[in-house]
Structure 1
Amino acid sequence: MLYLTKAKLLLAGAALTALAGPALALDGNDLVAKLNGALAIKGSSGFTAGSINVSGSDVIAADAKIVTDDAKQNIPLGTVKFEGVEEDGGGYTVGKVLFDNVNVTQDKSSITASDISITNLSIPADPNGNDLRSVLLYDEATVGRIVGTVEGKQAFSVDRTTVTTELADDNSSVDFDVKVAGVKADLGLVDEPQAKDTIQQLGLTSLDGSMMIEGSWSVGDGTLDLTEYALDFKDVGRLSMSFSLTGYTLDFIKSLNETTQAMAENPSNEQAQQAAGLAMLGLMQRLTFNSAEIRFEDAGITKRGIDYAAKKQNTDATQLTQMLKGMTPFMLAQFNVPELQNMVTEAVNTYLDKPGSFTISAEPENAVPFPMIVGAAMGAPNTLPKVLGVTVTAND
């Protein structure tokens, strides 16, 4: 009797296990569908696969592609493997996403990329929410060496690209950091005679540098702080930009994507384009300007540029420099902003005497709504520098 009871329990357990198996298995198609839902909200292209297979906690998408709206620039990805997939409240977390190496050829150009991966990817269950739980996020994305060729000759290459993000403990904001190392370009491949001569005179037959982006985004009030967006090239200089604005919320992003898509779908419909343009202006009214800065730090390009320009005008660098100094206040006088005119003239003179750095900043005492900026630009453009708190300096 005891034996029969145990046997029945074992059989019942086996039956429950068998019935539960399919329910616990991962749904690869659902993962891809929710991935595309999150990409659509961000205005990104779609992801498709020829076949989707599940193996334990892994989802393998074969013959995968990034598909654009017009289907003209589809990017083949080969096999994409989602490792360590777990369901999470209707969404998914993925320990690592591994991509095949990319090798795309079109006409006489080709591009290759290797060692592509994403770590700790979070795919939301519902991309229509108003917090970061509805946003596609990851800890790190990396791409190894990228090489572009034209007619068999290497035109550019990038050694490594790394994107990292860090989510705040309360899910209210996310920090992001992008580093692109070993950016090289061969400008000697340019064929157009005038451009080729300019490149050679400026000593720009090749470029060697890096790019970096740092910032944060608070989803509640939509404050986007881009603290640094920098391009740094050897023997040229370092160009960096930063800005801060408020109102860049998830709702704003969705509306912006919808308006942009409407414009793309009706390129020849004048009424549709006008309606979309008005909608875009309406969206801009949601934004508030906090600050901005653009700065250039010279590494030799200024002197070479002045020497080249002087040669083209049959003069020398000293005379051209003096000419530029003299022209600056006259060019600015037409804007009727004496304070800005004096500021820019002094900065230009300082920079031309000894090229170091040139900085334009805008930092108002209080945040300025975009409609106020547009109104000032249309009604009294000479008040804009004061409204935005503009300063111009050199070699600081």
Structure 2
Amino acid sequence: MKITKIAATMLLGGVATAVMMGQANALEAQAFADRIIEVYKTIGYDVTLGEATLDGDTITIDGGSITVVSTPEAPMETMTFDTELTFSGVVENADGSYMAESLTIPDIDTDFAEEPAGHLSLVDIRVDGFYLPAGNPVPAIGLMQLYENFSTGALSITRDGEEVISIDSIQAGSTFNPQHGATELTDLTSNFAVNNITADLSTVSEEDPSAGAVIEALGLTSITGNITGDLSWSMADGHMTVHEFLLDFADVGALNITTDISGFTPAVLDQIYAMQGAMTAGGEMTEEQSQAQMMQGMAIMQGVSIIGASVRYDDAGLAPKLLDFFASSSGADRATFVEGIKAMLPGMIAETGIPALNDVIVPPVSAFLDDPKSLEVKIAPPSPTSLLVLMAAAANPAGLISALGLAVEANTAAPAAD
């Protein structure tokens, strides 16, 4: 009899323990989900999530919704998803932050429009090193480290059953020094790639016949290419260099944007996030409040300086086609059409009221029109120059050109790869 009572007591104790553990697991899973909501709210995402459940160190969340909020007056449309989110290898750190080894999402295969019928499929969606920093407000250092790597497999978008856009894969990743999830960073590097983009533009004419005619005349009914980028960022002095943001399409051309700035520190980012939070949470602002926000923004950015920047276009066949097309449309041959544009350039610049632009723009643009190879607009101040100084210099456009070190170059050799 005594043994039976002991066994019953142990059984009841085990059941009670299991119930308590189940409650603790649900609470921990929900705490993880709540932290996702809080962290992403800081960067402008209004997130709702479905039920969160815990199994070992795996947390599963059953769907949710995301709204990108700009202002209280103009929030963007909410995107609802019923997809299961699986976070594997979840660890809660002593400071209240979370790290998951990976986040995986089931392949997407869904219709998104009825007329014309639109369908999207995306496979192999994965995030490695998913990080939720601690802190309230969430510090910028943490927000820089939300993931180590993001990747997908093939993306396909069809219109009435015909594929109009396809991408082989998407990849984005960062390397952190000293390590991912550190509360103090020295520097980071980031890169991304959208690989083997193919776009069928032949159906544009169904929506816009005039645009479709131009696309067909230029031989652009199908284009292929890649989009890539990489940057490096030092925390102590806020030196950020965008080494490449490149859109490169075969038989069309390559557009590359680079920037080099200093003073863009985590402290500056913290102030920007705080100001954005006040803007979205404070309701409609008065004119005085808007002016105060603008002054605050200027004060935040006063330590940010421009070292240099450039926008470069390397032609791969588009420019000659455009010149031929517009020449034919005007009833002239290409040489006559180009000479006409070159003759008009000084007058067009004169209308800006900035005569100093004439020497900067006319010679290189004329050279590009004669032989379209490359065209680049660069700024390179004599020394790093703050944004506020440049804004003040804008009162004297000629002085601003000098302060920026503005230059336009045509048909120069492409910079050597790092």
Query: Normalization by structure 2: what TM-score?
Result: 0.81
Query: Is 386-395 or 135-144 further displaced after alignment?
Result: 135-144
The residue number in structure 2 matching 1:194 is 210
Give the residue type in structure 2 aligned to 1:73.
T
* Aligned twin of 1:326: 343
The equivalent residue for 2:86 is: 81
How far apart are 1:335 and its partner, in Å? 5.5
Structure 2 match to 1:36: 37
**Change over 3 Å in CA distance of 1:42–1:68 after alignment to 2:** closer
- Could you list the per-position Cα deviations for residues 45-78 of structure 1 after superposition, in whole angstroms to 9, with x for gaps in the alignment? 2443321111111111112433444473314151
Q: Does 1:112 align with 2:89?
A: no
Q: Is the 8 A contact 1:186 1:207 kept in 2?
A: yes
What is the Cα deviation at residue 97 of structure 1? Answer: 0.7
Letter in 2 for 1:181: N
User: Structure 1 residues 71, 49: closer, same or farther in 2, change over 3 A?
Assistant: farther
SS in 2 for 1:27: helix
Q: Cα–Cα, structure 1 residues 389 and 153, in superposed 2: closer, same or farther, change >3 Å?
A: same
2:106 is matched with 100
1:150 corresponds to: 159
- Corresponding letter in the other structure for 2:341: L
**Count of matched residue pairs:** 380
1:7 match: none
3-state SS, counterpart of residue 168 of structure 2: strand
CA distance in 2, matches of 1:61, 1:183: 32
The Cα of 1:113 is off from its aligned counterpart by 1.6
Preserved CA contact (<8 Å) 2:215 2:221: yes
Instruction: For 1:96, give the aligned amino acid.
Output: S
Paired letter, 1:34: R
Conserved? CA contact 2:354–2:397, under 8 Å: no
- Contact kept? 2:356, 2:398, Cα under 8 Å: no
Match of residue 124 from structure 1: 133
Structure 2 residues not aligned, in runs of 5+ = 1-9, 70-74, 179-183, 413-418
AA aligned to 1:224 is: M
Distance 1:217 1:22, change over 3 A: farther
Correspondent of 1:236 among 244, 248, 252: 252
> What is the aligned counterpart of 1:172 among 186, 189, 214?
186
The whole-number CA distance in structure 2 between the counterparts of 1:86 and 1:241 is: 39
| C-alpha separation in 1, matches of 2:157 and 2:106 | 17
Counterpart selection for 2:392 from 353, 370, 375: 375
User: Once the 2 structures are TM-superposed, how far is the Cα of residue 196 of structure 1 from its aligned partner?
Assistant: 1.2
Check conservation: 2:39, 2:138, Cα contact below 8 A.
no
Which one-letter code corresponds to 1:60 in the other structure?
Answer: T
Q: Deviations over 1:3-41 (max 9, x none)?
A: xxxxxxxx9xx99xx699689958111212222222222
> Is it true that 1:52 corresponds to 2:52 in the alignment?
yes
For the 8 Å contact 1:77–1:99, the answer to whether it is kept is no
Residue in 1 that maps onto 2:331: 314
Aligned position for 1:5: none
- Displacement of 1:263 in angstroms is 5.6
Counterpart position of 1:246? 262
- Helix, strand or coil: the match of 2:202? helix
* 1:293 CA displacement: 0.4
Let me know the Cα RMSD of the aligned residues.
Answer: 3.0
CA distance in 1, matches of 2:160, 2:297: 41
**Aligned CA distance change for structure 1 residues 132 and 68 (closer, same or farther; 3 Å):** closer
Which amino acid in the other structure matches residue 36 of structure 1? I
Q: Residues 85 and 103 of structure 2 are in contact (CA less than 8 Å); yes or no, is this contact kept in structure 1? A: yes
Paired residue type of 2:60: I
Shift of 1:235: 1.0
Distance 2:275 2:325 in 1: 45
8 Å Cα contact 1:127-1:135 kept in structure 2: no
- Percent of aligned positions that are identical: 23
Matched, 1:162 2:171: yes
* Alignment of 1:62 onto 2:82: no
Question: SS at 2:264's partner residue?
Answer: coil
SS of 2:129's equivalent in the other structure is strand
State how far apart, in whole Å, the 2-side matches of 1:55 and 1:335 are.
66
Greater displacement, 227-236 / 368-377: 368-377
For the residues of structure 1 that align with 2:50 and 2:256, how far apart are their CA atoms?
42
Matching residue of 2:374? 357
SS at match of 1:122: strand
| CA separation of 1:207 and 1:300: change in aligned 2, threshold 3 A | same
Amino acid at match of 1:61: I
In structure 2, the partner of 1:205 is: 221
Code of the residue aligned with 2:43 in structure 1: it is K
Contact (CA 8 Å) 2:378, 2:406: kept in 1 or not?
Answer: yes
How far does the alpha carbon of each residue in 1:120-152 deviate from its partner, in whole angstroms, 9 at most, with x for none? 222212263656346443221002222223344
**Structure 1 residues 82, 335: CA separation in 2 closer, same or farther (over 3 Å shift)?**
same
